Homo-oligomer: A and B are copies of this chain.
Amino acid sequence: MTGSGGTLLADRVVEGDPRACARLISLVEDDEPEGRRILRELPGGQALRVGVTGPPGAGKSTVIDGLIRQLRARELKVAVLAVDPSSPFSGGALLGDRIRMQGHARDRGVYIRSMGSRGQLGGLSAATEGACRVLEAAGFGVILIETVGVGQSEMAIRGVADLVVLVMHPESGDGIQALKAGILEVPDLFVVNKADLPGARATRQALVAMLEEAASLGHVMSPEAPDEQVLLVQGEDPEGPQGVQSLVERLLAARDGQRPGRGRDHLALVRALVEARVGRILKQVPPPADLIDPWAAARHWLAAALPHLEDPGRP
Task: Assess whether B121 is in contact with A56, with CB atoms less than 8 Å apart.
Answer: no
Q: In the bound complex, how far is the Cα of B179 from the Cα of A148, in angstroms?
A: 11
Q: CB-nearest residue of chain B relative to A174?
A: B57
- Taken residue by residue from 287 to 315, chain A's Cβ proximity to chain B (1 for < 8 Å, 0 otherwise) reads as 11001101111110111011001101001
Q: In the complex, are the beta carbons of B312 and A303 less than 8 A apart? A: yes
Task: Tell whether, in the assembled complex, residue B274 and residue A177 are in contact, meaning their CB atoms are under 8 Å apart.
Answer: no
Selected interface stretch from A4-12, A81-89, A100-108: A81-89
- Min CB distance A89 to B, Å, is 5
Contact yes or no, A181 B84, CB < 8 A = yes
Query: Among A69-77, A149-157, A199-207, which stretch is in contact with chain B?
Result: A149-157
Chain A 53-64 interface 0/1 with B at a Cβ cutoff of 8 Å (1 = within):
001110000000
Chain B's nearest CB lies how many Å from the CB of A294? 5
Contact status A87-B184, CB under 8 Å: yes
Which one of B57, B92, B219 lies within 8 Å of A173 (CB-CB)? Answer: B57
* Given known A185-B89, A267-B287, A303-B312, contact A275–B274 (CB-CB < 8 A): no
Interface string of A124-147 (1 = CB under 8 A from B): 000001000000000000000000
Say if the beta carbon of A252 comes within 8 Å of chain B: no
Taking chain A's interface residues, is the majority helix, strand, or loop, or is none over half, making it mixed?
helix
With contact pairs A129-B294, A275-B278 given, residues A287 and B270 touching in the complex (Cβ less than 8 Å): yes
**Binary interface encoding of chain A residues 92-120 relative to chain B, with 1 for a CB under 8 A from any of its CBs, else 0:** 11100000000000000000000000010
Q: Contact partner of A150 among B149, B184, B266, B279, CB < 8 A?
A: B149
Interface size on A, residues (CB 8 A): 68
Q: Which of A212-234 contact B (CB under 8 A)?
A: 214, 219
**CB neighbours of A266 from chain B (8 A):** 291-292, 294
Q: 1/0 per position for A230-247, CB-CB distance to B under 8 A? A: 000000000000000000
Considering residues A90, A173, A312, which has the most beta carbons from chain B within 10 angstroms of its beta carbon? Answer: A90
Q: With A275-B275, A309-B309 as known contacts, state yes or no: A301 contacts B270, CB within 8 Å.
A: yes
CA A134 to CA B84, docked complex, whole Å: 36
Is the CB–CB distance between B282 and A298 below 8 Å? no
In the assembled complex, which residues on chain B have CB atoms less than 8 Å from the CB atom of A19? none
- Taking A150-B151, A151-B151, A266-B294 as given, write out 16 further A-B residue pairs in contact, using a Cβ cutoff of 8 Å, ordered by the A residue number: A36-B295, A55-B174, A57-B173, A84-B182, A86-B155, A87-B183, A88-B185, A89-B182, A119-B152, A129-B294, A148-B182, A149-B150, A270-B287, A270-B294, A278-B302, A302-B309
